[in-house]
Amino acid sequence: MSIPIQKAKDSIQQRQMISVSLEEGLIHLRGLSPKRLRFELEYALERGSTANSFLFLAGIDSNGNEQPPILIHPPGAAFSDVFIPALANALPNNPSELSVVVGHINPNRIALLQTLATLYPNLKLIASNPGAKLLREIWNQKDPRNLEQATPPIPEITLIKQKTKIPVSYERQLILLPAPTARWPGGLLAYEESLGLLMSDKLFGAHICTSTWAESNRSSTEEDRRHYYDCLMAPMADQVDTLVEKIEELEIRTIAPGHGPSIDSSWRSLLNDYRRWGESQKQASLKIVLLFASAYGNTATIADALARGVGKAGIQVESLNCEFTSADKLLSAIKEADAYLIGSPTLGGHAPTPIISALGTLLAEGDRKKKVGIFGSYGWSGEALDLLENKLRDGGFKFGFEPIKIKFSPDTSMLKVLEETGTLFARKLLQAKGNKHRQAARGMTTSRSDPAVVALGKVIGSLCVLTATQGEEEERLNGAMVASWVSQASFYPLGITIAIAKDRAVEALLHCGDKFALNVLAAGKQNKLLRQFLQPFPPGANRFEGVQIEMSPSGQPILPEALAWLEGTVSQRMECGDHWLIYAEVKSGAVLDKEGITAIHHRQTGANY
């Protein structure tokens, strides 16, 4: 692909827009954001992001007819200051018509569409049936924080009800495919035949700020794409698998998602990864149904964080958007679930009608022996959450956690609390089912009496406390865990490996590039620290409350009562069944007690810690 030809920059937010000429008549508009766009779990790796749009210029189609310019997947309003000038510069002669393919709909996206409607009076929107419904519902809604903003009339909407082929300029053909999911019911994929270019919008994305058109290889982005999948796709794995099957029927050469670099040489590998990641979800022994509706995206953000936490504990989540779920599907999901989560915004002092209907079904058909959890966001009140709580308590349901009520949207620390709440909820379900053994990757429970398992227990490890912290001031996150699956891994560079269970809260702070401290405990002096860090912590609790700590050169917590400490930087992560194995390069360290010896962890079996 060609080198970027133009750049626009927002000096305040440090956001840029790069215009790249991909082919004659086709321009790629890439918004670059070096910092996270929003406080949502999908951005937690703090690697920035891109917003990828595509513009087919006006021209003659294969039938000799003049076609207007078509914009595919515009960004949200966060990029308005750099996107609007870049779009105007890319469109010659200020065209009278502009069509926009809208792949997913949220208030942020609609805010930019409203700006386009003001600048281009003959703007036309192209959307799926559910997408058009959302456009009409949200277009004139007022954000409680900005009630005075004027709204232009909603443009004409062309409906895409099934796979549809439309002509575009330069004798090209554009295929549009509805791609509904619970998170994005208005999903719409765009595929250009002659180039084999799939513009996949939310599917296959990764939040990485890069001006490079395509990834260099699969391994360079695998961690980011896996994190993106776990945060957003895993709770609707069945729906995503169906879309992957449809996509495989296309003669693809390049996948260009809405976020991150494109995938050209290894897109089949990514599709296989999506299937593999989804299969691990389906093999879980328990399933939670998550019912929600979301007006401004805030309740959906809460749902994502809870679902991510549940998934880390090895329980499947089935996410259903109540506004676009049939009564039969809702009923079957409730009957098959082992627990229920239901979330709602408060709109005009009420819960949305689809949530009221879902609540009625849950009250009529739900099993009172199964736990329930409620959550939601609100602007000035919170009546919808009160309604859910009162109805479910009066109906005899037992709550797995206290109702979660968040004003507007959660911040970074609250997202961590939500994730830990989901994990704790899942652990309690596993304990209630008597499923106390960790499961291997194939979903089979390991027997404690297996001779190999008993022999594995004879492999010993040093007792350590891993500590980590990230962020500044109010957004600071910290974590800690007792670790005994620790080993030196290399001399040059000096490196160690540590196995981290997927459901550990600190796991979220141990991605590639993250720093941590490993505190090696001293024999005979380990009990105090073990009691501190082996205790169950409530979601969001400060693991270092009441503990004396010092700081490593990069600001990681050191325990002065330890025998020694090492500071490491995560270099690689490998998925190993129910654990992540991290390899870290040791940057510094010291022995604190020169007379002490290392505390050792002896086990009777390899089936548990």
Judged against a pLDDT cut of 80, whether residue 345 lies above it is answered with: yes
Which superfamily is assigned to 6-279 in CATH?
Answer: Ribonuclease Z/Hydroxyacylglutathione hydrolase-like (3.60.15.10)
Total number of residues shown for the chain: 609
Residue type, 354: P
Domains 6-279 and 284-432 share a fold: no
Say which range, 16-25, 259-268, 471-480, 546-555, has the weakest mean pLDDT: 471-480
DSSP state of 439: B
Residue 143, pLDDT score: 60
The percent of residues above 90 in pLDDT, for the chain, comes to 80
Q: Strands, DSSP E only, in 34-118?
A: 49-56, 59-60, 66-67, 70-72, 97-101
Say which range, 183-197, 210-224, 436-450, has the weakest mean pLDDT: 436-450
Q: How confident is the model at residue 380 (pLDDT cuts 50, 70, 90)?
A: confident
Q: How confident is the model at residue 448 (pLDDT cuts 50, 70, 90)?
A: low
Judged against a pLDDT cut of 50, whether residue 445 lies above it is answered with: no
Residue 2, pLDDT score: 33
Phi and psi dihedrals of 540, rounded to 5? 85, 0
Whether 607 and 470 have beta carbons less than 8 Å apart is answered as no
What distance in Å separates the CA atoms of residue 31 and residue 80, rounded to the nearest whole number? 10
Residue 11, pLDDT score: 45
Q: For the residues 441-445, what does the mean pLDDT come to?
A: 38
pTM over 0.75: yes
pLDDT in tens, 259-272: 999 999 899 999 99
pLDDT in tens, 521-532: 999 999 999 999
pLDDT in tens, 80-90: 999 999 999 99
What distance in Å separates the CA atoms of residue 384 and residue 405, rounded to the nearest whole number? 10
Judged against a pLDDT cut of 80, whether residue 171 lies above it is answered with: yes
Residue 438, pLDDT score: 44
Interior CA angle at 188 toward 247 and 334, to 5°?
A: 85
Residue 120, pLDDT score: 93
Residue type, 7: K
Question: What is the 3-state secondary structure of 290-354?
Answer: EEECCCCCHHHHHHHHHHHHHHHCCCEEEEEEHHHCCHHHHHHHHHHCCEEEEECCCECCECCHH
Judged against a pLDDT cut of 60, whether residue 444 lies above it is answered with: no
| DSSP string of 89-104, one letter each residue | HHSTT--SEEEEE--S
User: In this structure, which long-range contacts are made by residues 548-556, counting pairs with CB atoms below 8 Å and at least 24 apart in sequence?
Assistant: 549/467, 552/517, 552/588, 553/587, 553/588, 554/515, 554/587, 555/469, 555/515, 556/467, 556/468, 556/469, 556/515, 556/516, 556/517
pLDDT in tens, 117-159: 999 999 999 999 999 999 999 998 766 556 566 789 999 999 9
Residue 1, pLDDT score: 32
DSSP state of 518: E
Left (φ > 0), alpha (ψ -120 to 50) or beta: where does 94 sit? left
Q: How confident is the model at residue 543 (pLDDT cuts 50, 70, 90)?
A: very high
Sheet arrangement for strand 515-520 = 477-483, 464-470, 515-520, 564-576, 579-591, 495-501, 486-490
Question: How many other CB atoms sit within 10 Å of the CB of residue 252?
Answer: 19
**Given the structure tokens 């109010």, which residue do they identify?**
474
**Given the structure tokens 């949207």, which residue do they identify?**
409
Q: How confident is the model at residue 476 (pLDDT cuts 50, 70, 90)?
A: confident
Whether 338 and 430 have beta carbons less than 8 Å apart is answered as no
Higher pLDDT, 577 or 583: 583
Higher pLDDT, 7 or 298: 298
Q: Indicate the class that CATH gives domain 284-432.
A: alpha beta
Say which range, 7-11, 180-184, 415-419, 489-493, has the weakest mean pLDDT: 7-11
The CA dihedral of 408, 411, 413, 416, to the nearest 10 degrees, is 80
Whether 223 and 279 have beta carbons less than 8 Å apart is answered as no
pLDDT in tens, 25-68: 999 999 999 988 777 889 999 999 999 999 999 999 888 889 99
Bridge-based pairing of strands 26-33 and 15-23 is antiparallel
What distance in Å separates the CA atoms of residue 183 and residue 291, rounded to the nearest whole number? 11
451-601 belongs to CATH 3.30.70.20 = no
**Given the structure tokens 């693809």, which residue do they identify?**
252
What's the mean pLDDT when you consider all of the chain? 91
Boundaries of every domain in the chain: 6-279, 284-432, 451-601
Q: For the residues 385-394, what does the mean pLDDT come to?
A: 96
Query: From the centroid of its chain, how far is CA 95?
Result: 38
Say which range, 2-16, 31-45, 119-133, 433-447, has the weakest mean pLDDT: 433-447
If you compute the radius of gyration of the chain from its CA atoms, what whole number of angstroms results? 26
What distance in Å separates the CA atoms of residue 52 and residue 207, rounded to the nearest whole number? 11
What distance in Å separates the CA atoms of residue 178 and residue 188, rounded to the nearest whole number? 4
Residue 281, pLDDT score: 81
